[in-house]
Chains A and B, each alone.
Chain A
Amino acid sequence: MNSYNFAYLDEQTKRMIRRAILKGLAVPGYQVPFASREMPMPYGWGTGGVQVSAAIMTPADRFKVIDQGSDDTTNAVSIRRFFERTAGVEVTETTTEATVIQTRHRIPEMPLTSGQILVYQVPIPEPLRFLEPSEVETRKMHSLEEYGLMHVKLYEDISQHGAIATAYAYPVKVEGRYVMDPSPIPKFDNPKLESPAIQLFGAGREQRIYALPPHTRVVSLDFEDFPFEANKADAACELCAADTSYLDEVIMDDAGHRMFVCSDTDFCASRRAAGHAGIQEAAI
């Protein structure tokens, strides 16, 4: 009763998830239904990602977990510990050393390489869900490649606000066929979805798995006169001076002074270790 299987899940559950992953890889961007299990952490807290990681983990892997780009947020710590305990795998905070990276809401700044696997935690896998609440209907829309509703929504945004009012979980089209939710990553990260790494997406509560094989064509939806823009705060990291990384805004005092720092903590730390210094560091 006290000893669990390697990587927690029983072998039959892993096989079921593994089969879903293979079909997901064969049809990139299509959401494969799978019989998600109750995990010892709550739905909505990464159970889909955890089940995918558990199904692909090998004893030789080095595992990294980030939440909001950081290795040290409590939920990232909790998931990393879970695999340390149940799979006995090595863990790391260094993106380049990791073989499997589980993430919530970010793609690391350091370009991923062939052989790495990025596992996304996905809350609502259906990109059409907020336009059409019924699963029966959205499934039909995907099957007929009927994505007009999505274009109408984006276009209404432009006519009302002068811009597409979607800042994260920005929908993409995969290999010219399926519209896919890239999970709630900021749209700044969308261009990184075309990657040499294998990318797997797990939605536990919604019981869906989908995948992007390396180098899959991933296009953020846009219009000719309103091309997609991957924007970020117009500032540089005050710790490491990076001006191309996605930034978190931190409130510094009661007067509302703020500063910008890299959201990717490993990226920031490795830049500082290499001698880069932002305005805060330079001031010391």
Chain B
Amino acid sequence: MYVAVKGGERAIDNAHALLAEKRRGDTAIAELSIAQIREQLSLAVNRVMAEGSLYDPDLAALAIKQAQGDLIEAIFLIRAYRTTLPRFGASEPMDTGKMACTRRVSATFKDAPGGQVLGPTFDYTHRLLDFKLMAEGDVAEAETGTPRREPTPHITEFLNAEGLIQQEAPSDETPGDLTREPLELPAARPLRLQSLTRGDEGFILGMAYSTQRGYARNHAFVGELRIGSVPVEMDIPELGFSIEIGEIEVSECETVNQFKGSKSEPPQFTRGYGLIFGQSERKAISMALVDRALRWKELGEDDMGAPAQDEEFVLYHADNIQATGFLEHIKLPHYVDFQAELELVRKMRAEAQTGLQEAAE
């Protein structure tokens, strides 16, 4: 006896209750606080802020807690929250030359004004599990100097002074906003950069890696990677001048790319650019490589047919919230489509069968 299924509402309620229980885990174990996540899982918090496109460490930590550590789910929570926020205005362009650098390295010059600053990096850690962390243990205070407060010049500017690196034309044009206007192709570089900075870290990394392995190789060196805090200023029309509304931590990467020259450009170095909320250097470097690969047209290079050169391919597939939603939607019911295909396959088989029989007779 078949009865049409009812009970969707109750099933959803029960699923939510189970999810909440699972999130909390064993109640004999102390609950994580938002502050603990913010302070001790800061790189996860950074990723959620970067791909969620919202600089708010506390909300990112909350999202991570609510999402049980599923970072894409946490990014989704932040995005859905962000889109409901009213917009009061836009900040002035940020000057990363004013950054108080906690880390700054260059692969192209041994030293430069401002110096190389290793900062808090995994780079030279030996990747050995530190079993001491299994017990709660205090950490000895690290020796620190005072961060440099005077502006630290960008290393690529030294090449620029010699005319050895391609000039970036300054523009006062208001860049487009992916979150307010539908993407239109071909996309200007500001839109491409916007898409890359909020794109999925794994996707951007994979694309960048593919350029290194020869799919539109662009011979990149890290001209400079810097991480630190930068003031954000906003023009207040009522006051008639800009005021500092806060500071954010960002990672910035400029690559210096070998360039033989093209029909339109002389031999010189070219650049790729990456800028990400928080400390997120893998993403910043990846972004710079993919940015450079996408610039083939404006630099007069050849289309190698590489995935990383295809702006439509990169921009339409970089967003993990779009990707995960569409990917996971195939678990929703598709009875109707499937039924339609079932009927079609049966019909075509029956016709093929008749055809075979007729041929045999």
Contact = CB atoms under 8 A, between A and B. Distances in A.
Question: Do A's and B's CB atoms come within 8 Å in the complex?
Answer: yes
Interface of A: 4, 8, 10, 13, 33-40, 42-45, 47, 67-70, 72-78, 81, 104-106, 123, 134-136, 161-163, 165, 167-169, 184-188, 205, 207, 231-233, 238-239, 246-250, 252, 259, 261, 263, 265, 268-269, 280, 284
B297 interface: no
Nearest to A104: B332
Contact of B339 (A4, A67, A233): A233
B344 A73 contact: no
Nearest to A37: B83
24 contacts: A8-B84, A34-B182, A37-B83, A42-B76, A42-B324, A67-B332, A67-B333, A68-B335, A68-B336, A70-B4, A72-B4, A75-B332, A76-B8, A105-B334, A162-B352, A163-B351, A165-B344, A167-B337, A184-B337, A207-B182, A233-B339, A249-B339, A280-B2, A284-B1
Contact of B325 (A67, A70, A205, A246): A205
A123 B329 contact: yes
B351 A162 contact: yes
Contact of B7 (A34, A72, A78, A165): A72
Contacts of B348: 161-163, 165
A73 B333 contact: yes
Interface of B: 1-2, 4-9, 11-12, 76, 79-80, 82-84, 86, 179-186, 312, 316, 321-322, 324-329, 332-337, 339-344, 347-348, 351-352, 355
Given A38-B321, A188-B340, A247-B339, 17 more contacts: A35-B179, A38-B82, A42-B328, A43-B324, A43-B325, A45-B332, A47-B325, A67-B332, A68-B335, A68-B336, A74-B12, A104-B332, A123-B326, A168-B337, A187-B340, A207-B183, A261-B2
A38 B182 contact: no
Contacts of B6: 72
A162 B342 CA distance: 16
A263 B182 CA distance: 35
A181 to B, nearest CB: 13
Contacts of A165: 344, 348
A34 B181 CA distance: 7
Contacts of A249: 339, 342
Nearest to A263: B336
Contacts of A168: 336-337, 340-341
A8 B80 CA distance: 11
Nearest to B15: A74
A155 to B, nearest CB: 16
Nearest to B78: A38
Given A73-B333, A186-B337, A252-B2, A36 B342 contact: no
A250 B2 contact: yes
A232 B335 contact: no
A77 B9 contact: yes
B341 A77 contact: no
B86 A231 contact: no
B182 A36 contact: yes
Nearest to A259: B2
A166 to B, nearest CB: 8
Contacts of B179: 35, 37
A18 B3 CA distance: 41
A261 B3 CA distance: 10
